Structure 1
């Protein structure tokens, strides 16, 4: 493979990755050069580079990498490339990973708390909780192993004393989940300032998780709904 090829391939996706990173900082869900993003492209991965401010990042600096750890382009990948690679290798159901040091998720991770079912929207992350992975040094294989465990059957997890990870089918879906998880983390943190929040029970969460199988689908069944046509009749 030519060393120049990664500079030319997947340009629209590279630009979308950079735009996603800048958007995270713009809305305050990430800061500085922390956090990182990866997207599967066939049998390879596109990753954000290490240590480059998102505002300065250029398309050619997005790193193309194979699953054996070989990378192409002028920049090294994020120091967290191991968990990006390992999660994508383990999870054929997703193609995108976003990692941030968002304020409320990271605060809870410093307490090493799972996020319980304080709100039914936690089902968007795949279960009745968002687990907090055990602590390990950033960039290490141990951290990747802990993240894989916490993400079993889930689309999001916290990383102890570090931050959070979300998974998605594409950048837009992963970003939407990122915002949702951070919102739930903020709600949980705020509730804890007042008292001990009421946690939804397992029976209710089973109902919610079942409903989430068709959540947002236009063809979802609802016995109480009747489609009256593409336009409403004129009011007399």
Structure 2
């Protein structure tokens, strides 16, 4: 372990990362060695290593990178670091990014998006409150930097995306916020899939506006 890693291993955000991995794995949202989590501490990023099981992350054995992607120590980072890098670059106030292959969100990512600004409809107040709109990012092979570039090209606000044929990616001002958001996306995706072609009542513009105003999230208040 490098000196920098040793110094950061006890950082509260590092401890939160490890706990978040265990929580998400315990919920069955991170099968096998899928998914990755990172935290930003100053101008460095600590990330779950490639091929790691989120259930058993070690605070002293995380990949350490600069915000530009330079390797500073530790094991090899996940190839999906460019996705995390894009969210940190777009939103400097975010300190955590979570990416999963959770089953319902991954299934929904294989379908047509509800609207250009959100793959998911405003199906529950909690999705609007805790996440906001979730744009669909066109497919690219895992690790392809084009998705990060696409994320940064969007001209509207969001804190989470759905990667086509892949899964969700969330960011947060805290690790808990990013975790809560990705759990909420999974639950909302499950409801959409359960409803399938059945007529569903969605939140209307006034209801959405009240929630976004109260909770500081973003949602374009017009239908698809």
Shorter-chain TM-score: which interval?
0.7 to 0.9
Alignment of 1:1-236 (within 5 A): 4-12=2-10, 13-113=13-113, 114-127=119-132, 129-149=133-153, 152-192=156-196, 195-213=198-216
Distance in 2, Cα, partners of 1:162 & 1:207: 32
Contact 1:125-1:155 at 8 Å conserved across structures: no
How many pairs align?
210
Contact 2:109-2:136 at 8 Å conserved across structures: yes
Structure with more contact order per residue of length (Cα contacts < 8 Å, sep ≥ 6): 2
Distance in 2, Cα, partners of 1:183 & 1:69: 32
Distance in 2, Cα, partners of 1:60 & 1:81: 19
Could you state the TM-score of these two structures normalised by the residue count of structure 1? Answer: 0.81
Distance in 1, Cα, partners of 2:153 & 2:85: 15
Distance in 2, Cα, partners of 1:56 & 1:123: 32
Distance in 2, Cα, partners of 1:57 & 1:196: 43
> Match of 2:109, SS?
helix
Structure 1 unaligned segments of length 5 or more: list them.
Answer: 215-236
Cα 1:74–1:94 change in 2 (3 A) is closer
Could you state the TM-score of these two structures normalised by the residue count of structure 2? Answer: 0.85
> Match of 2:161, SS?
strand
Instruction: Report the structure number with the largest CA radius of gyration.
Output: 1
Cα 1:91–1:148 change in 2 (3 A) is same
Distance in 1, Cα, partners of 2:156 & 2:39: 19
